[in-house]
């Protein structure tokens, strides 16, 4: 899987003349569309940054695109007055998302490898059943999973987020597709040398799966970092909240200090945006890969 392999643009070719008018208008038209949507896509974030740097009294005051009057008091409040909340939430989110990114990626790779390479009774039935569970909307399992987690005495603890998340159909499916397309030569050579399945998987296959593992890890991290509905249902005490849940709760409890909400929301979006800018190719490539294979 090549990283950041954005295909070159279509070569310029000579067409028949009846569409010459199209050639004249298409460039300005496309640039207009692209610039227009760029503005639409980015302005809300830009406004958030600007107004998080303005005092609360100016929450709806122009100028909209410059932080005048400028202040850092909203950010200071996040780390002083509300220091028992925001930093705690961020830590909780980072812990859950980071742990699951590692654990789920590993477990999904293991499962995917078994489906792609090993022969065992029940394989096709299991794989088919996995695909079926992927089609069932999350609302169906929401209530039973809440009851199961409640029975396990995990409610209101981060374990309620971790235990059901250690593996998932999407990741296993993605890794299965990856291993099906991976050449077998290295593994066959190792097998002739008498290596067992676990040696082959952990010593040879895992190291060469880095691009796919990183893609899945990033997806997992993003998903868990932003997750809302499941944490909302299983967590109750503010000190156990993840950042999205905390932000939503904070908005309800302290709706009069909306500037602090805006500043606090930066603690959620900036880390994930940094991650995205650093590993863009893995994100977009991953979407394209998993998307197209399923379609």
Partner 1 sequence: MRIRRRQLGEWIAAYVLLSPYLFVFLVFNVFAIAYALYLSFTYFDLFSPPRWVGLGNYLYLLRDNLFLQKAVPNTLKYVAVVVPVQTVISLLLAFALDQEIKFRRFFRTLFYVPSVTSSVVISLIFLWLFKKTGVINQLLGLSIDWLTSPTFALPTIMIVNIWATTGTMMVIFLAGLQDIPVTYYEAAMIDGANRWQMLRHITIPLLRPVIFFVVTMGVIGCFQVFDQIYVMTAGGPLDSTTTIAYLIYKWAFQSTTPFMGRASAVAFVLAGMILIVTVIQRRLIERPGEV
* Minimum distance from residue 164 beta carbon to partner 1 (Å): 5
Residue of 10, 57, 80, 193 interacting with partner 1 (CB under 8 A):
10
* Minimum distance from residue 125 beta carbon to partner 1 (Å): 12
Q: Which of residues 271-290 bind partner 1 (CB under 8 A)?
A: 272-273, 275-277, 280, 283-284, 287-288
Size of the site for partner 1 (CB under 8 A): 107
Q: Is 78 in the site for partner 1 (CB under 8 A)?
A: no
Closer residue to partner 1, CB minimum distance, 95 or 197: 197
Q: How far apart are CA 273 and CA 222, in angstroms?
A: 10
Segment lying near partner 1 (by CB under 8 A), choices 70-78, 107-115, 154-162, 177-185:
107-115
Q: Is 262 in the site for partner 1 (CB under 8 A)?
A: yes
Q: Which of residues 218-237 bind partner 1 (CB under 8 A)?
A: 222, 225-226, 228-229, 232-233
Q: Which of residues 112-131 bind partner 1 (CB under 8 A)?
A: 113-115, 118-121, 123, 126, 129-130
* Minimum distance from residue 83 beta carbon to partner 1 (Å): 20
Spatial CB neighbours of 177, under 8 Å, sequence gap ≥ 6 = 112, 289, 290, 293
Spatial CB neighbours of 73, under 8 Å, sequence gap ≥ 6 = 55, 56
Closer residue to partner 1, CB minimum distance, 7 or 192: 7
Binding mask 145-184 for partner 1 (x = CB under 8 A): xxxx---------------xxxxxx--x------------
Q: Is 42 in the site for partner 1 (CB under 8 A)?
A: yes
Closer residue to partner 1, CB minimum distance, 189 or 229: 229
* Minimum distance from residue 79 beta carbon to partner 1 (Å): 18
Q: Is 102 in the site for partner 1 (CB under 8 A)?
A: no
> Phi and psi (nearest 5°) for 101?
-60, -40
* Minimum distance from residue 56 beta carbon to partner 1 (Å): 12
Residue of 30, 66, 203, 278 interacting with partner 1 (CB under 8 A):
30
Q: How far apart are CA 18 and CA 94, in angstroms?
A: 58
Contact between 26 and 15 (Cβ < 8 Å): no
Q: Is 18 in the site for partner 1 (CB under 8 A)?
A: yes
Tokens of 9: 């643009």
Spatial CB neighbours of 285, under 8 Å, sequence gap ≥ 6 = 1, 2, 3, 4, 5, 215
Contact between 196 and 246 (Cβ < 8 Å): no
Closer residue to partner 1, CB minimum distance, 70 or 228: 228
Q: Which of residues 193-212 bind partner 1 (CB under 8 A)?
A: 196-198, 201
């Amino acid at each position: 899987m090549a990283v950041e392999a954005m295909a070159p643009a279509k070569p310029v070719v000579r067409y028949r003349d009846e569409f010459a008018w199209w050639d004249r208008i298409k460039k300005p038209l496309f640039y207009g569309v692209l610039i227009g949507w760029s503005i639409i896509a980015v302005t809300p974030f830009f406004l958030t940054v600007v107004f998080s740097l303005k005092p609360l009294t100016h929450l709806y005051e122009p100028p909209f695109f410059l932080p005048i009057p400028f202040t850092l008091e909203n950010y200071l409040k996040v780390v002083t007055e509300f220091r028992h909340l925001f930093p705690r939430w961020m830590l909780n989110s980072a812990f859950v998302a980071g742990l699951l990114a590692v654990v789920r990626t590993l477990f999904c790779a293991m499962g995917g490898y078994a489906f792609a390479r090993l022969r065992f009774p029940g394989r096709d039935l299991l794989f088919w059943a996995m695909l079926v569970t992927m089609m069932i909307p999350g609302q169906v399992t929401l209530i039973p999973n809440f009851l199961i987690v409640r029975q396990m005495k995990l409610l209101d603890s981060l374990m309620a987020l971790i235990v059901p998340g250690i593996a998932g159909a999407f990741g296993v499916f993605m890794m299965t597709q990856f291993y099906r397309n991976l050449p077998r030569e290295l593994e066959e050579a190792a097998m002739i040398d008498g290596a067992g399945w676990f040696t082959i998987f952990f010593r040879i296959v895992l190291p060469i799966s880095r691009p796919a593992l990183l893609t899945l890890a990033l997806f997992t991290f993003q998903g868990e970092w932003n997750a809302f509905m499941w944490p909302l249902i299983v967590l109750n005490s503010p000190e156990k909240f993840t950042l999205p849940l905390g932000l939503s709760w904070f908005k309800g409890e302290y709706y009069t200090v909306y500037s602090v909400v805006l500043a606090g929301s930066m603690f959620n979006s900036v880390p994930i945006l940094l991650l995205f800018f650093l590993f863009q190719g893995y994100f977009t490539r991953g979407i394209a890969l998993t998307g197209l294979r399923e379609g």
